Structure 1
């Protein structure tokens, strides 16, 4: 297929200053910043980068496969070329990504809408492809001579988070494929007829060895067959809709829902183990009954089952809706921030105050009232909550209740910006 050479570099004009605003509103923009903040060794350089980006010191940004570039003007007015490198996907990885995307029409539609739903990234990860960068993936190069992330490369990354919010194709270009090339490939694969050779209809030869032979040879055995590939979708549990009436106290609809959610969770866990390997797979702590009720409610049960989960958990309908909202933003960690109010003290309190102090310029810092691990903006329906892991979670008040407004961030200003209501909601 002919490649569009001009599609392999995009240049974005310098963005206006971002005073008083966060740098990422979307979850994938926040994931980009998380990779930066986990990679950089010097938090002071991150703060310097945020200040430069907010002041509009980052010039036009050039995006190419494997690299982003901009000229950044330091506080002393000295201009430096800053580059950040991100590994490109291989041709074989792109083939797998395209095959996976074509199989799920919703992924293509989401990309065309300039959206990157979490399940697209999760499905890509299940095939061994990491679209979003992780810790250590953003490699800096700067004309100032710094060997780690400096204020210039950090400022470039913060500015690129704003570009990613507007267009996730920027990330795909960094990974090696331009928008037109990507869409052409997707269209070609969608239109290609499926190859069904005659041999495919024949039954496969049975694998393995004869039991008598295996016993006779002792420890001289052939290698075990390869593990089967991960199924594309979770298995479908058998239907319980039979002529046999259920036993007293047994709800067939609830059992079918539990079986379906168990199959989906098993599929997710298997995909994660196959992707990371059993040695690197962290075993999550067992959920409490209250947490598991929220997890199940997040699986879109029928109205009757949703009511039972809400009542059984003691949260009620509105409380369960808020808990589900939190769960979808961050699982157990987000649910703990919703439910738990705790006293911040000692070194944790000192770090929190330092983060709040450096997050805004003096004339832009909001007035915050602290109560436990919650900082509420005076005169506004916005709030920051500090998690036990040091991340900040945005909250806003809706119909008299505090509800989660976005995912976590290391930077309080970025988190608080997520709590702003969309413009159409503010005018209601």
Structure 2
């Protein structure tokens, strides 16, 4: 398939024509699973992959890892492969398109994600300029693993926020899923689209890299090599008293960055090495500056959740899926258990993980006042059980730290996933949950 040609209004807005239907799409009956197939066979039938690159698959999996309904994902694949997604417009922090569904009028669908701040861009562009092979890879429309991890360029699970004008309140709905799958095809052919999603256009990025390269070349040409130190032989052999050892180096303000690891057949995965090196540096720096080990008091399961939550692009690549599988197996948990726990950790750290795993009976006080407060805010349908207030699809959990944690599930599924931002006020936590 040839790369879709973008129509440029300016460097920070690109509109791509609608992509043609994919051959073998389930919409035409040639790629659908057989009737009555078990769930795992149906999953394999739909897992042929809309993306052909690791970064395209990373984009797709960041949505799939937090989707509440696999059936909506499958319908989204059918819509995407059948050509239901019209022209796609990409601007900083937003991907927008009209998606044709079962009704005559198409739905306006978008996916939002965080843009990088200036500090993140400095780190990313410095890392790219320091490695000529990174620049060559980008010009060849390839995304190096190490470069993507420098500033968390790829979204992690839960970083993508779908929105659609359709009446379906699924997370995501099939139209948003279809847009996500089609966007992955754009990323396959042009990873600079990912840079634009994160805040800067292709021309701006290339101009900045050119300037940094020119500056680096001038400094390297004009810098004179330092003179080699010399010591007379008589001085070196003369008896002498050795001076006292110098004082230890000052502890740096923050941990250093690990080196960039090459991708080579048979070698350890670069992202796994980067994770281990970054973890060791951060832990050593904390110990040097505080005398405390931030990990020593954690259980193996809590430490596994912390590691997975800190992994850049968790759950997105083959190495990340292997990390989830290995960490889960080492602590007698499934990858789904680990993904749910990671979402809780990112929501509230160790206290958020406790809110996920522990049901307890709170004493009289804030918990008893929560239901009247919710009823006064036009939310009277919450029912209590221990430290939890629930409706069929929403839940608030009162943590031992005094915060309320939001959860969401499909109706009648009892499959609760952490959502929103913790709050001391149950109405505030519910507002964050409904407005995510």
TM-score calculated relative to the size of structure 1: 0.49
Asked which structure has the greater RCO (Cα within 8 Å, sep 6+), the reply is 1
